[in-house]
């Protein structure tokens, strides 16, 4: 289908019937700006509007999709072409809408994962668990967006996406430890001593000294050897 040709045809027939864009818009339940976009070739009428639009302009669907009055001699040939074009147009629009929904779903899940870790207390494991589960859930949207790519590339994109968002969560968590003075949410091991907690994360360790006291502090350390017997020594 030639979108610009169809737009010019709609404008020509409308003007020939002395119908304004606003009048046609009211009859079809759309805005006059939408009619203008059709006529300028910016976009096409929705499939659901094909029939009422043809009725208002007093043209056949074949005429509308051809962008001109179709002669009886070419009618059948054009009809078959236009049916195929209309189906293709409809499928592409459905796919575009589905991709938009998938993208919005991904953004919603990512934002939700960051919101979740800020809602739960930093020393609760539920924040980390729920935020990671939300990111995993968002993979449904990612898979939807890249479904036409071959299997190996899909795996690579999904892995890269998950790794990137996970690293963002870890960075936000690290900033919280440094600036907000809170326990890391994504700690692998936690060893507790007398007023001391040692958090072992994937990339760094955190010592929480004087727990729940006014002089409570957090120290970020690397490659420290500790056990239940010497953990208190780190805060001396």
Indicate which CATH number applies to the domain containing 15.
Answer: 1.10.260.40
Domain presence at residue 49: yes
Q: What is the CA radius of gyration of the chain?
A: 31
Complete edge-to-edge strand list for the sheet that includes strand 205-209: 187-192, 196-201, 205-209, 217-221
Domain presence at residue 86: no
Same domain, 166 and 145: yes
Give the CA dihedral 121, 122, 126, 128, nearest 10 degrees. Answer: 140
Q: Give pTM, 2 decimals.
A: 0.68
List, for residues 135-181, the tens digit of each pLDDT value.
Answer: 999 999 999 899 888 889 999 999 999 999 999 988 988 888 888 88
Domain presence at residue 83: no
Q: What share of the chain is helix, strand, coil (3-state, %, to 5)?
A: 65, 10, 30
pLDDT beyond 70 at 227: no
Segment of 41-50, 101-110, 218-227 carrying the highest mean pLDDT: 101-110
- Residues 6 or more apart in contact with residue 159 via CB below 8 angstroms: none
Domain presence at residue 163: yes
Same domain, 59 and 7: yes
Domain presence at residue 82: no
**How many domains are there within the chain?**
3
Q: Which of 13, 35, 70 is the last residue of a domain?
A: 70
Name the DSSP class of 178: I
Domain presence at residue 84: no
List, for residues 91-109, the tens digit of each pLDDT value.
Answer: 888 888 899 999 999 999 9
Domain containing residue 193:
187-235
Same domain, 173 and 98: yes
Same domain, 54 and 110: no
Same domain, 192 and 125: no
- Are 152 and 159 contacting, i.e. CB atoms less than 8 angstroms apart? no
Domain presence at residue 77: no
List, for residues 195-207, the tens digit of each pLDDT value.
Answer: 788 888 888 888 8
For 8-17, 82-91, 167-176, which range has the lowest pLDDT when averaged over its residues?
82-91
Q: What is the pLDDT of residue 3?
A: 84
């Amino acid at each position: 289908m030639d979108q610009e040709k169809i737009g010019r045809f709609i404008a020509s027939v409308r003007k020939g019937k002395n119908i304004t864009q606003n009048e046609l818009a009211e009859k079809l339940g759309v805005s006059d700006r939408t009619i203008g976009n059709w006529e300028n070739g910016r976009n096409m009428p929705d499939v659901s509007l094909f029939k009422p639009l043809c009725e208002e302009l007093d043209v056949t669907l074949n005429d509308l999709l051809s962008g001109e009055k179709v002669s009886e001699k070419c009618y059948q040939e054009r009809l078959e072409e236009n049916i195929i074009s209309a189906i293709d147009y409809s499928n592409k629009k459905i796919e575009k809408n589905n991709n938009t929904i998938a993208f919005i779903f991904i953004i919603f899940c990512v934002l939700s994962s960051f919101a979740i870790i800020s809602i739960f207390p930093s020393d609760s494991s539920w924040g980390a668990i729920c935020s990671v589960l939300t990111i995993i859930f968002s993979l449904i949207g990612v898979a939807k967006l890249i479904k036409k790519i071959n299997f190996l590339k899909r795996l690579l994109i999904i892995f890269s996406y998950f790794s990137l968002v996970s690293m963002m969560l870890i960075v936000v968590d690290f900033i919280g430890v440094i600036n907000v003075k809170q326990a890391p949410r994504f700690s692998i091991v936690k060893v507790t001593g007398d007023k001391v907690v040692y958090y072992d994360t994937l990339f760094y360790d955190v010592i929480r000294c004087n727990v729940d006291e006014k002089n409570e502090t957090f120290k970020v350390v690397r490659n420290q050897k500790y056990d239940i017997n010497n953990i208190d020594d780190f805060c001396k």
